[in-house]
Amino acid sequence: MKGAPATPVPLPEVNLADRPFAYPLSRRGLIRSGALGAAALFAPSGFAKDAKQASATPALAPGETESHGLSTFGDLALPADFTQFGYVRADAPKGGQLTLTTQASTYDSLNGFILRGTPAQGVSIIFDSLLTASLDERDAYYGLVARAVRVSPDKLTYRFLLRKEARFHDGSPLTAEDCAFSLNILKSKGHPIIAQMLRDLVSAEPEADDVLVVKLAPSRTRDLPLVIAGQPIFSKAYYANRAFDETTLEPPLGSGAYKIGAFEQGRFNGFDRVADYWGKDLPVNVGQNNFDHIKFEYFGDSNVAFEGFKAGAYTLRVEDTARLWATGYDFPAVREKRVLKETFQNNRIPGIQGWCFNTRRPMFKDARIREALGYAFDFQWASHNLMYDAYKRVTSYFENSDLAATGEPDAAELALLEPFRAELSPQVFGPAPMPPVSDGSGQDRNLLRKANELLLAAGCVRKGEKLFLPDGKPLEFEFLDRYNLFERITLPFIKNLKLLGVTATFRVIDSAQYKQRMETFDFDVTVDNMLMSHSPGEELRNYFGSEAATFNGSRNLAGVSSKAIDALIDKALKVETRAELVTVCRALDRVLRAGHYTLFHYYTPVDRIAHWDVFGRPDQPPKYEVGYTSTWWWDEEKAKKINFAGR
């Protein structure tokens, strides 16, 4: 099967198929991916000055300000006349193919912006957006389709001044009419996550072919303008006779640096670089989008996927398994240095990975039961015996950042927490809750004793070797996953749970079933991976807001529903300074950790990349990503030198 253009969200830096959803919810991911695609690594473009466009631009309205970009707190590192990003090589050659893998078993749609269907990996890459992110800054966004943005004094009206040269892949002009259509249809028919984020978008209307006027509700959140600016732009004419909210394998019309290439359902999907891409010479596109082709191979099994890499079926692998990194790379191509193992220090908040308890289920209603189960997971044993001590324990929802709560709450945090003291656990007002530390034996008797005490305090009753809930039903549940990657750490956990009288099982289902069950919250426990930004915004509402707990397709898998949490999220979305945001997030972190909604796993402060030695890359990598999809390039001489014969 062949295809043409697909969807514009830049591609994933990590293998998003290895996460419960293909939809990152950090705002950084949302902006770069047009709200619901793979985390974008294809770079943005800056607002280059254009005399012809500037001459046609109307004068500023009274009090209106104009900028070449937007950021959370108004700080942009780059001037309006920047010529390229510091992490690119301006004359990077074009050509070759980057091949990645996904552990999803198949897909049934090329539409990644609706609830229905399982989209092919990276399908959003073909769409441009108004703004997109720099990989060197935490939360600064520069123009792609928009060359500048004007903001009213009350910050409720945004005028995006569009580049007149913007084009869709069929050569038709990309206008403000298309931008308005895209925002409106995403709000009315898009994935529920997007619709929720856009709820305070009052209107999006064209003022001229190259001027989009966006009006926001007074109650709007701080980062709504950035969320809006990062949405994909669809062709209104294309959807005049097509249903937007249906799954399809007809490649949509895009406008980005890539279009959909060859694809075969269940085996692979690919993207082709658009040689005459309208934005290829913009300052921030300089030195980027270098591969002629980007391809995803589908294996459906992690062991088979690794064997595929060894055979050259794909060229770059993000290694998420410490055991493989430590012991699996002793094959001829590594020894001969045809395959390279490299680590890259990252400055991101890591994915907050852990077992998520579905509190919609009766057995997980009581936080004491959730806390008790955590004492049965011997992280120290698992780290040493299964993961070669290659990971650090996740301890916070804002790990590796200044947003994480530590020690006792300070006066500013207490001022936020006190109004909700009656609702909150006493743990919120003491030292920040931390995961237990075991003796590393695999069955720490002291921790299991504490677990038993908590279970009994929660009203559970032991009868023989079984533990029963207060309602008389046995405490039993299922770990649900879509592949067996976590089986090695889950089975020892299940063994310890059995010592407490708890019956647990581990089950793997195919990716399509898994997606459907996650979207309808039909599970007991699953592995979640939450992506947080350094300046969190709307993702907080989607992960932890009470409203998100009620609609299918949200990322509030745990079913978190708390007036205190909702109030803290509301404050976090509206604070005006970084210092205020830090205080609110630390208070929120305390409440979430005391709720024991997630039994934290682990993270690594480095990105582990294995790749065939066929790539070139700039001397200076981006600060917040490795950048292989955006800034690396195919090196034909290297490929010839190692006689690379892969696909």
Whole-number Å distance between alpha carbons of 186 and 503? 43
Contacts of 342 (CB under 8 A, 6+ apart): 608, 609, 610, 611
What is the rounded CA–CA span in Å between residue 460 and residue 478?
19
Mean pLDDT (whole number) for 400-405: 95
Residues in the chain: 647
Q: Are 261 and 293 in contact (CB under 8 A)?
A: yes
Q: How far is CA 344 from the centre of its chain?
A: 19
- What tens digit of pLDDT does each residue of 101-142 get? 987 778 999 999 999 999 999 999 999 999 988 999 988 999
* pLDDT at residue 102, as a whole number: 87
Query: Alpha helix (H) ranges present in 33-77?
Result: 51-56
CB 393 within 8 A of CB 600: yes
Tokens standing for 192? Answer: 């529920």
Higher pLDDT, 22 or 264: 264
Longest dimension (CA), the chain: 84
DSSP 266: T
Q: Please determine, for residue 473, whether its predicted confidence score (pLDDT) is greater than 90.
A: yes
Q: What is the mean pLDDT of the chain?
A: 89
Report yes or no: 272 and 96 within 8 Å, Cβ to Cβ.
no
CA distance 113 to 189: 9
Q: Does residue 27 carry a pLDDT above 80?
A: no
What pLDDT, on the 0 to 100 scale, is given for residue 24?
A: 36
- pLDDT, tens digit, for every residue of 47-105? 333 433 443 577 898 999 999 999 988 889 999 999 999 999 999 999 999 999 987 77
Q: What are the Cα distances from residue 107, in Å, to 10, 510, 526? A: 18, 11, 21
Cβ pair 35, 230 in contact under 8 A:
yes
Closest CA to 257 of 229, 294, 228, 222: 294
Highest mean pLDDT among 15-19, 348-352, 617-621: 617-621
Q: What is the pLDDT of residue 105?
A: 78
**Closest to 373 (Cα-Cα) out of 528, 498, 530, 508:** 498
- Pure H helices in 474-612: 487-499, 511-519, 538-544, 563-572, 578-595
Give DSSP secondary structure letters for 198-256. TTTEEEEEEEETTEEEEEE-TT--TTHHHHHHTS----TTGGGGS-TTS---SPPP--S
Retrieve residue 267's tokens: 């085996």
Q: What integer pLDDT is reported at residue 48 of this predicted model?
A: 38
Take residue 213 and report the two structure tokens written for it.
């006027």
- pLDDT of 73 reads 87
Task: Flag whether pLDDT at 622 surpasses 60.
Answer: yes
Q: Pull the structure tokens for residue 440.
A: 């590393």
3-state secondary structure of 90: coil
- Return phi, psi of residue 355, to 5°: -75, 125
For position 46, what pLDDT does the model report?
37
Q: How far is CA 232 from CA 58, 228, 294, 554, 596, in A?
A: 26, 9, 20, 19, 36
Going along the chain from its start, the domains and CATH numbers come out as 352-603 (3.10.105.10)
Whether 219 has a pLDDT exceeding 60, the answer reads yes
Segment 551-590, tens digit of pLDDT = 999 999 999 999 999 999 999 999 989 999 999 999 999 9
Q: In the prediction, which pLDDT does 112 show?
A: 93
pTM reported for the whole predicted model? 0.81
Cα separations in angstroms, 613 against 54, 300, 335, 616: 46, 25, 12, 9
Beta bridge partner(s), residue 282: none
Burial of residue 153, with CB atoms counted within 10 A of its CB: 0-12 exposed, 13-18 middle, 19 or more buried: exposed
Closest CA to 601 of 455, 448, 321, 383: 383
